[in-house]
Chains A and B, each alone.
Chain A
């Protein structure tokens, strides 16, 4: 672990603490206070962006566990989110479940879907697994649209009632913020803890060499499927929050392209890193908003591009950023962050 000079462990409680130095505590408290005062400071599309980032972080944490820590490539994250979102939709519309019940139920149902489509991972890996999850990405939305279009609305939008506690209804960007963010923080801590338990170490061992891991007594069957379950459980939670956030779900929010974007967030953040998942998501989502706001401006400069600029710039910028990161910074923003931190730790005597 990278930690400042002079920080020693004297008890086991210290050894396992996530927040340990006074600086950590200060930045943690200040960060939390700042985060929760955000709805008072910003509004409109920026608050919507922050909510979207919060939801995406949950999903990306899941994908980071599966891809970054366990080394299983998944192109189906958006489909697992769709499973969660539609579970929420169906449970809250037809069975009138409250949100604190639909949230775990959506996670579980997405998790089970994840296990089913994770089954091929026991025999295959690399490109082949990417293929299997690609199949999941194309099959799951098809099932949602075509099996019971009378319930899910098919390709139409399914309107979901707002989440509420007592008489407090989460019906605006500023209010749903207070539902998304605590869950996001909880998930981040959970992930941070998970990756250093026996399970997390087993995941890392499987990533580094699955045969060696099996020879050491790690059950591939159990841990690969567990990784798929956790990944899609998170995706389900994120999907559920998504449906409460948008209050309407449509299968178009969960396409193959979205899956690629989630994978891109993991790459940009840095594989196998919890802060990386946060950095990557914030980076890509902010970039997307930035590019989308450049689009109309470009339309005024070059009128012939007015119609397409907004739609075309997004994928173009995203693809270029991913390529740049792959070629020049394959360890992602998290690595850059560590480099910056250690630079200032030693500053001004860097040797």
Chain B
């Protein structure tokens, strides 16, 4: 039972990491109908920004975090401005391929800048030490991740409910043309969406860096597990992304513990296939009705 609890708790915490990337994907998909395959690279880039501030410039942690997150937001804006804005109205494959191509561009740039090896964070970014709850060890990094993912989720909820830009984003997600006709600047909404998504992804990257270090090879593979999370929750649902992230994390850890650690590697993708076959719209997604 303790073992089960340990796996479960680990799963919930790792799931928080997946949730970061997943929320970023959902945000972009909702507003712009583009599925961001470059999320792994965005996660990594945010993490690397923070790493550079800490290692190269020896900034204190709070300043590094601030700079890294600002940098991520700017990158998000730039992605939208330079590439995806020009692809509005193109077929779906163009959008998919554009984000895949972006992921390759970032991979190349990051290899240039940070090299191929895995870099651990030089200082402790996340305060605290592992907590013992009964027989269950809870890592402080993952605990922070988990709580922060919930905070991000709540903050986004408030942002969408209370703020002007948030409401613009919801309106755009509902119907781009209608939003445009009532005077919403859809293009700037797209830009802000990418900015926020890159911000959330960078948060995930910083936590990933603090936990296991960052590498151009392994980190995007971890972020890939956000895809099953997104589809589990439904492409249009932000609570779905959070829940999906947690569920994928839990199932992965349980299968790793009870079946084999190797099997844990593909558990998320088996979940993904099962979701796609049996319930493609996910838990909270919208069922699409198609007409000719």
Contacts and interface: CB of A to CB of B under 8 A. Distances in A.
B83 A323 contact: yes
A296 B173 CA distance: 47
Nearest to B279: A123
B111 A315 contact: yes
Nearest to B93: A73
A67 interface: yes
A226 interface: no
A71 to B, nearest CB: 8
Contact of A327 (B83, B110, B231, B277): B83
Chain A facing B: main interface SS: helix
Q: How large is the interface on B (under 10, 10 to 19, 20 to 34, 35 or more residues)?
A: 35 or more
A271 B92 contact: no
A120 B277 contact: yes
Contacts of B98: 322-323, 326
Which of A128, A135, A209: most chain B CB closer than 10 A?
A: A135
B111 A308 contact: yes
A260 interface: yes
Interface in B80-107: 83, 86-87, 90, 92-94, 96-98, 100-107
A67 B87 contact: no
Interface string B205-229: 0000000000000000000100110
Given A123-B276, A267-B97, A318-B101, A215 B292 contact: yes
Contacts of B290: 211
Given A212-B292, A264-B97, A327-B83, A142 B108 contact: no
B112 A309 contact: yes
Contacts, number: 140
Contact of B104 (A71, A212, A318): A318
Interface string B249-292: 00000000000001101100110110011001000000000111
Chain B facing A: main interface SS: helix
A212 B291 CA distance: 9
A264 B106 CA distance: 16
A312 B109 contact: yes
Nearest to A259: B100
A314 B101 CA distance: 12
Contact of B276 (A128, A209, A264): A128
A257 B111 CA distance: 15
A139 B90 contact: no
A146 B259 CA distance: 13
Given A131-B227, A135-B270, A326-B94, 17 more contacts: A73-B93, A120-B276, A120-B280, A130-B35, A131-B272, A134-B224, A134-B227, A135-B273, A209-B292, A211-B290, A263-B100, A267-B93, A271-B93, A308-B116, A309-B112, A315-B111, A319-B107
9 contacts: A73-B93, A119-B277, A120-B276, A135-B270, A135-B272, A264-B100, A267-B93, A312-B112, A315-B108
